[in-house]
């Protein structure tokens, strides 16, 4: 990573010195269209192959919505 320039450091100090109440958040528009979003474009965690023994009712629940049950299991376990 490149070092910050003097101007960048100055800008960061100026922003850090502001109080939250003095920052105007009204100008950025709300993002409502995510159709162009790309999953994993900037960060993709490493994956490791594992074998798990799950109860049949758990597997049925994961597969109930169709494809992607392994991803669903990964997301669900990550929130425990």
**pLDDT tens-place values along the chain, 80 residues long:** 789 999 999 999 999 999 988 888 888 778 788 888 887 788 877 888 888 898 999 889 988 988 888 888 887 665 55
pLDDT in tens, 27-48: 877 878 888 888 778 887 788 8
Q: Return the number of other C-beta atoms located less than 10 Å from residue 73's C-beta.
A: 17
The secondary structure of the chain as a DSSP string is: -PPPPHHHHHHHHHHHHS-GGG---SSSPP----TT--TTSS-------------HHHHHHHHTT-S-HHHHHHHHHHT-
pTM exceeds 0.85: no
């Amino acid at each position: 990573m490149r070092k910050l320039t003097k101007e960048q450091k100055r800008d960061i100090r100026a922003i850090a010195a502001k109080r939250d109440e003095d920052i105007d958040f009204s100008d950025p528009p709300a993002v409502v269209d995510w159709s162009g979003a790309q999953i994993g474009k900037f960060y993709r965690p490493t994956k490791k192959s594992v074998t798990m023994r799950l109860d049949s009712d758990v597997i049925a629940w994961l597969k109930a919505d169709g494809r992607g049950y392994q991803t669903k299991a990964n997301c669900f376990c990550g929130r425990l």
